[in-house]
Structure 1
Amino acid sequence: MAVPQEMAIATLAGQFVPNKALSDDADSSLALQGVPWLLRKGISLASPKFIISHLTDDNGNAVVNINVSGIGGSGVTEQRILNWEPVSAKNPLYGKTETRSRLYRTTLDKSPSHSDEDYAFLSANTTKDGTASSWAEDPASEHLHIVIANEEAGWTMEQVWGFEEIDGKRYHTRRSVVRKGGLVERGRLVYNYSA
């Protein structure tokens, strides 16, 4: 189901399920992050459910809660504290990570780590194959920017959340660029909204 027009990234909430037909294959990105083949195969066959909610923590920071179920049994809850401060955590899939998260308006700042191709992809100017694309309008003109790093494994994943119109429907999408050494993998995940 399409995401309602009035839903914004800053108020994104509800249940989301990956649309495998519209999403890029995540296997090469997961492999670059060191996820074993057998686990990657299980992920490709799974039908995970993401329940997203918002809260404000004791310090007044906006927080996005992401409860993931349907991959390997019991659910996992991840938090994104939207203050761009590093948060250390241990993730069952990615190991020990440090994550920074923030909302930004209109345009992603281009960092020295961005190649022109990475920046165009994260900004939704192109798809993975280079075809032109664009973000669908967000009522607040905001996107969620997340950078997750695993120093021990040597990889960084940069992700931007937004909305895109695909085949005439508005979907929640997440665009990711994974870097390890000189290797780069890009991919877009497209989500169906169910409630």
Structure 2
Amino acid sequence: MAVPASMTTLNLSGKFSINKTLSHPPEEILELQGVAMLKRKAMGAATLTVNLKHYKNDSGKECLSLEQTIAGLDLGVPEEKVLDWVEQTRDTKLIGTVVTKAKRVKVDEVENAYLKEGWSADTLENGCIMVHVTPEGKDSWSAEQTWGIGEVKGERRHVRRIAFTGPDKKLEHQFVYDYLGEN
């Protein structure tokens, strides 16, 4: 389901579910991140739901809080992203400890051409959310991501585009989400 016409990257709050038909399958990226085959298959078969809260913290910094579940199973404590491009370390149940940083950026400032494609006019105007993720203490992979409202088959959707660099492979994937309503 498309996002409401009023939703922009200035407020991405809502409940979303990954649309498997419009998204790349996650298994290849998960394999390059070292996730075991049975977990990869389970992730590919399950439905991922994300509750996203977009807000300003007490310091006035823009933040995103994500709570992810798969078929009703909690994937851990909510993930807090402060959009200040300062590295944060967090433990994940699926891929171990990662270092992330995030910020709002104008699409034309993004270096990777794939991450610049397919955005709505309001995302081009307001900027997208850029996220960088690497495993802690290793340089085995990295993921550069842009999040925003994209135009997918004539509909406005929450989209995450990923340029993934693994040990011997580079991937470009897009995850498209159905809007399920307010959270």
In structure 2, distance between residues paired with 1:41 and 1:24: 14
Deviation at 1:47?
Answer: 1.1
In structure 1, distance between residues paired with 2:8 and 2:69: 23
The partner residue of 1:137 within 110, 116, 121 is 121
2:10–2:126 contact (8 Å) kept in structure 1: no
Residue aligned with 1:11, SS: coil
CA RMSD of aligned residues (A): 1.8
Deviation at 1:75?
Answer: 4.3
Q: TM-score, normalised by structure 1?
A: 0.84
Deviation at 1:93?
Answer: 1.3
1:34–1:153 contact (8 Å) kept in structure 2: no
Most deviating of 48-57 and 38-47 = 48-57
**1:56 corresponding residue in structure 2:** 56
Residue aligned with 1:100, SS: strand
Query: Do residues 122 (structure 1) and 108 (structure 2) align?
Result: no
Task: Could you tell me which runs of 5 or more consecutive residues in structure 1 were left unpaired when the two chains were aligned.
Answer: 111-118, 125-133
Q: Which AA in structure 2 matches 1:138?
A: D
In structure 2, distance between residues paired with 1:72 and 1:12: 22
Deviation at 1:56?
Answer: 2.8
Deviations 1:7-26 (A, max 9, x none): 11120011000110011112
**1:98 corresponding residue in structure 2:** 99
Q: How many residues are aligned here?
A: 178
Q: Which AA in structure 1 matches 2:121?
A: E
The partner residue of 1:154 within 140, 164, 170 is 140
- Percentage identity across paired residues of the two chains: 28
Query: Do residues 83 (structure 1) and 68 (structure 2) align?
Result: no
Deviations 1:6-56 (A, max 9, x none): 211120011000110011112111111111111011101111210000233
Q: Which AA in structure 1 matches 2:119?
A: W
Q: TM-score, normalised by structure 2?
A: 0.89
Task: Could you tell me which runs of 5 or more consecutive residues in structure 2 were left unpaired when the two chains were aligned.
Answer: none
**2:43 corresponding residue in structure 1:** 43
Residue aligned with 2:74, SS: coil
